[in-house]
Amino acid sequence: MIAVIGDRETATGFRLAGVQAVYEVSQSQDEKERENETLNLLDKLVSEGGTALTLIIINERLAAEARVRDKIRAINKNKRGVTPIIVEIPDKRGPMEQKVSEIEQLIKRAVGVALK
């Protein structure tokens, strides 16, 4: 199963592509409300998704918020195996510069070496 957490445009695009589990986080909320909603969605997906959930796609700007970033790292650290894979994608404003790529960290953990 694939799940998507994103802004309105991201959510609409994935719905049009046929993804069933799409969660839209309103950009009109203040930062704290957006962060709390994103954290709740991540908790819900990881706890209810079980082994059926293989991929979580999340908007970069939502993932960049401090507590959300910590939650993603905790999910990656505590999961058994490699699923669910959490992939961050840019929104309509384009990609954000990242100091540490979560995908690179996941590959390093799974393979045992850093890929550049």
- What would the pLDDT profile of 23-75 be if each residue is shown by its tens digit? 999 887 788 999 999 999 999 998 886 668 889 999 988 988 889 999 998 98
Q: Which helix (H) or strand (E) holds 32?
A: helix 31-49
pLDDT at 105: 65
Structural domains for the chain: 2-111 (3.40.50.10580)
> Predicted confidence band at 84 (pLDDT cuts at 50, 70, 90)?
confident
Which two three-digit tokens encode residue 17? 């592509």
Name the residue with tokens 């986080």.
Answer: 25
Predicted TM-score (pTM) of this structure: 0.78
Report yes or no: 76 and 86 within 8 Å, Cβ to Cβ: yes
